Each structure stands twice: as C-alpha cells, then as structure tokens.
Amino acid sequence: MKIKLISSVVATTLAFSSSALFAAGELNIFNWGNYTPPDLIEKFEKEFDIKVTLTDYDSNDTALAKVAAGGHGFDIAVPSNSYVPIWIEKGLLLNTRVDLMPNAKNILPQFRDVSWDPGRQYSAPWQWGSTGVSVNTKFYKGDINTSTIFLDPPEELIGQINVVPEMMDVLSMAIWYHGGEICSDDKAMLKKVNDTLVAAKPKWKSMAYGNMPKFASEDLYGGVNWNGSSFRSRLEIPTFAYGHPVEGYPLWQDAVVVLAEAKNVENAKIFQNFIMLPENAAMMSAFARYANGIAGSEQYMPADMLTAPEIVVPEELAAKGKFLETCPPEINKIYTKIWTNLMK
C-alpha cells in the first residue's frame, strides 16, 4: 500500500510539473470583490503565460446561484467553508486532489483535513478570518466586543450601522447572542432570533457590501464586518476598531475550487498550487489583510499583520470564535425564511 501511495504521489507530482511547464492560455476566476491582489495575478500571468479574467461577486449565495445555473464560463470560484459541501453535493466541483499537489505540504496542519473538505481534495486555502463588529470609536466609547452593537445598538450608533448581508454570518451571531446553537431547530430560540433582527433593522442605515469608503467618509459609524475589512479601514481611520463578540462569532475560510464546467482545468490546478506557496499566500494577506492557511507565509507579510488586533485575538475572545458548519437542508429552509423576512 505504501508503495502504491508513493507511486501515486510521484505520478501526480510529475504530471502536475509537466502541465505547469507547458502552461498557457486562459483562466477565468470568480471571486469576492476587492479580495484578489492585482500583483498576485500579474505574477501568475507572467510565470505561466496564462491570461486571467477576474469576475467579482458579493455573497456566497450569489456565487452558488450563478454557478448552479450553468453556462457561467468560470474555471475557479472561492466559496466559504460552510458552502463547500453544498457545492460538492450539487456536483459543481472537480476533485483536483489538492492534497497531492507539490505545494500542499505548506498547508497549516489544522487546515489539512477539514470537515468541509475531508483530506483536502477539492479546495486550496485562500484566506481565513472572522466576522465581528466594526466601530468608529470617535463616535462610540463603550464596549465593542458584543453583538449588542448591531442587535440592540447604543444610542450613538443608531442610524449609522451597516450589516453585511451574508446570511450565515448574521444569523449565527444572532443565534449565539440568544444562547442557541447553529443547526438547531429550537423554534423558540429561532423566533427570538427573527424578532430581534426585525426589531433591530430600523436602527441600521443599510445592509450592503463594499462599506469601506463609507466608513472612511464617516457616513457609517460601525456594524457587522469582516476582520480584514476592518483592518483595512483602521489603516485609513485610526479610530476604527474591531470587536470580537463575547456571545460568539463565526470563523470562516474561503477556498479555491475548480468548477465542474471549467474549460481550463489544468490552468486552474496550477493556480491552486500557486497560491499554496508561502510568498504567494503572503501577497493575498498583505492585500486583503486576512490570515491565510499556509505555513511560512509570515516571513513575507507586512510586519503589522503579526500584531494586528483584528488578527491576534486575546485568548478569552479567541475561544468564542467557531467555524461554521453546513446545516441540514431542513434547517437551511428555516434560516432562509428568517433571512427573507429580514430582507423585505
């Protein structure tokens, strides 16, 4: 068995090296907006003579619906971890055996065999982080490590809050706020979640992505946000701070996957392997300001990434972060109903 396994790995590595050597052509990437470093793409294009076309999306649900509809023309997408099993179940992905790629050895141990992709066969790590609350402390001086910031906003923030419209991020924070568990069908608890969100929404200014310019212009004072986005905002506005809700907050990892309808499969595999090099993973982190899942990337990253409060979390708050799991379809139906009601 060991001999067969070694032979398989060698064969896969040689085949991969050969395809990379003669790479050329195109690659169509479907990724979150403002999330792909231009210098990373430029380096990839020069190194492999592959022309990259990048198309943005704004949510996991948008990306899933677009790809599931077919005829999209994309080779690669970057869903969040809790969505990866759904993509696999729907037959939307190719098993590219990421675990056998030469640079897979660089994946951090905790990300090599994950619940959303056992054995790491389908997906290469992109970036990972948390969803919490961002606040401009110029306008609010109180505790920000709480989901109260958006679920029962303090007077100073009412009417100046934005909530990113990412269903599972928002619902999970509301569920934990009420002491519930993800994927539970506790109807009494879910009613509280629904009622709390509906009551809170009139106190928000918006539910939108791309909020960094509005934070910078002080059109918004805070809201539900991702840690990297908050980090980037703090670099522009020193009074901007990121809170890790003590009630609980979601962790996530976005993953580079190759689509079943991909026309440029070999080029897509090359890209998966490419981003698992430490220096390339560091380019991703330096741009979007999130951690990555690649060992050795720290030495290539900006020094402020190693001490940023958005990334280096106090132990008592770090323990409150949980990776979101994929809930059963019957639970997702309930969540979708609550979310649809909120979005009216």
> Is 264 within 8 Å of 75 (Cβ atoms)?
yes
* Helices within the chain (DSSP H only): 2-21, 38-48, 60-69, 84-89, 148-151, 167-177, 187-200, 212-216, 227-236, 265-274, 278-288, 315-318, 329-342
Predicted pLDDT of residue 253: 97
d(CA 176, CA 292): 26
What share of the chain in percent tops pLDDT 70?
93
Predicted pLDDT of residue 23: 58
Predicted pLDDT of residue 211: 84
Distances (CA, A) of 294 to 103, 109, 148, 224, 228: 9, 9, 34, 27, 17
Predicted pLDDT of residue 8: 43
Given a cut of 50, the residues of the chain with pLDDT beneath it are: 1-14, 17-18
Give one DSSP letter per residue of 254-297, joined into a string. EEEEEBTT-S-HHHHHHHHHHTTSHHHHHHHHHHH--B-SBTTG
The token pair that represents 95 in the structure block: 């098993």
| Burial label, 289 (beta-carbon count in 10 A; 0-12, 13-18, 19+) | buried
d(CA 248, CA 178): 10
The token pair that represents 72 in the structure block: 């999209």
Domains of the chain: 2-128+253-306 (3.40.190.10), 129-251+313-342 (3.40.190.10)
Write out pLDDT tens, residues 122-157. 999 999 999 999 999 999 999 999 999 999 999 999
Predicted pLDDT of residue 16: 59
d(CA 120, CA 106): 12
For the entire predicted model, the pTM comes to: 0.90
> Is 221 within 8 Å of 156 (Cβ atoms)?
yes
CB 333: neighbour CB atoms within 10 A?
A: 10
